[in-house]
Amino acid sequence: MLGQPAFYMYMGLDTNANTAGLVGTMTGLFYAGGILGSLLNTWLADKVGRKWTCIIASLIVIVSTACLAGSVNISMFIAFRFFIGIGAYMLYLTRPLWVVELVPPKGRSILAGIIGLFGVVGYILAAYVGVGFFYYKGSGSAQWRAPLALGCFPPVFFLGICPWLPESPRWLLAQDRYDEAWDIVRTLHTSTDDPLHDYATAEFYQMTKQHELEANLTSSWVEIFRRPSYRKRAAIVFMLPIILYSTGNLVITTYAASIVAGMGYDHGQSLNLLAGTYLAAIVGNLISLTYVDKVPRNIIMSIGTIVCSIVLSIETALVAVFLGTTNTDGLAAAAAFLFLFLFTFNLFIEGPSYYYASEVFPTHVRAKGMTINVIGFCIVNLLWLEIAPTAFKTIGWKFYLVFICISVFGAAIIFFTFPDTLGKPLEEVARLFGDEEL
């Protein structure tokens, strides 16, 4: 919506002296809702299962999206940004949790990484729908209402296919539904090379023994912060999004249209360039699927963080020199490095940012661990996106320097302190944290 002039005019943002603050609030309340959704998800995911949590979240998203599309003033729009944040972050949290508990260790990073891939597909579709409606010449507010209303279709599609999607076998075991869990493991963890289900049987045996062990363990929030190995996990999954999304990705993806417009491009060009950056991003996602199951997680993420800081450093220099000038080559180079930045982020970081946190906690506290991760993500979103409009207005390109500095230190933290979970069954990850009894 930030690239649609019709939205600004309808909501009175084109003449409001506090537009930067309202845009920041619009963005920030989405992530405030995300924090509430994450906390609600902790209880729901363990109570009703991963599948039903996604169903409930989808219903919240559908209703909230419809209300956003029908907003009659900025107050209503801002209010439903909060509610859609609740549903969206319940989905954001539960999807990787559900997937990593369903798939076998080999190929887990590829299959979980596809979540990030389709997330970018969603960005691309949304961006090009926005471009199409920008050129729509009809009267009224259809330019911004219709793209929002179309956002109802993905969760409706998900609800339509839900009857054929399996529940997490590990959650079913936690409910003592052994037969259902075995049917799912036998179906999904068997290949044509293993007609007798030997691998699936061994996997299920390990899952069952792990469940029997965890059944006597405390799964409270107090336990997470009391037990040293759980505290270490909590610190890692909380810091993970703070480091990865302090590379500048959040600000660039959210305010890309405004950033490009600030380089002198008109509204139509800005929206087309924004859509193009997502095409560059998805190329990075596709390439990443060829190696994520071969390279240690901490190495991928630390290298990605450093490379992002290098690309952003060059982007910062270009913006500092050419912004506000008529040098079209320099401005084009600055726009090109936005493409390169998002390509780099998705090549190294986007995939692991979805599934790494869901790998490090044992099943009985995994939902709580993911909640800690997503709360960290929401906090870093709130921080950067709330201050970004004002920061760009007051200090301009110098705002990027903050991300560059954090990325350098963050890469070292990831490389030296984050354990590698590549190829390990979820039941064996505990040993990386000194939990031999788990």
d(CA 250, CA 345): 11
Per-residue model confidence (pLDDT) at position 136: 77
pLDDT classification of 301: cutoffs 50, 70, 90: very high
Of 135, 4, 133, 126, the residue nearest 77 (C-alpha): 4
pLDDT of residue 244 exceeding 90, the answer is: yes
pLDDT at 214: 84
Q: Would you say 144 and 295 are in contact if contact means Cβ atoms under 8 Å apart?
A: no
**In this predicted model, what pLDDT tens digit does every residue of 337-387 receive, in sequence order?**
889 999 999 999 988 887 899 899 988 899 899 889 988 988 888 888 778
Dump pLDDT digits (tens) for 303-327. 999 999 999 999 999 888 888 788 8
Measure the CA–CA gap between 289 and 304, rounded to whole angstroms.
15
**For residue 262, pLDDT beyond 70:** no
**CA gap 312, 259 in Å, rounded:** 14
- Domain 5-166+222-433, classified CATH 1.20.1250.20, yes or no: yes
Q: What is the pLDDT of residue 345?
A: 95
- Tell me: the pLDDT tens digits for 178-218? 999 999 999 998 877 878 888 899 999 999 998 888 888 88
pLDDT at 138: 67
- Residue 258 predicted with pLDDT over 80: no
Q: Is pLDDT above 80 for 53?
A: yes
The amino acid that residue 416 corresponds to is F
Q: What is the pLDDT of residue 420?
A: 94
Angle between helices 19-47 and 50-69 (to 10 degrees): 150
CB 362 within 8 A of CB 173: no
* 111-143 exposure pattern, b = at least 16 Cβ within 10 A, e = fewer: bbbbbbbebbeebbbbbbbbbebbeeeeeebeb
**Residue 9's pLDDT is what?**
84
Residue 257 has a pLDDT of 66
- Using the predicted structure, report yes or no on whether residue 154 has a pLDDT greater than 80: yes
Over residues 405-409, the mean pLDDT reads 96
Reported residue count of the chain is: 438
Residue 191 burial (10 A CB sphere; 0-12, 13-18, 19+):
exposed
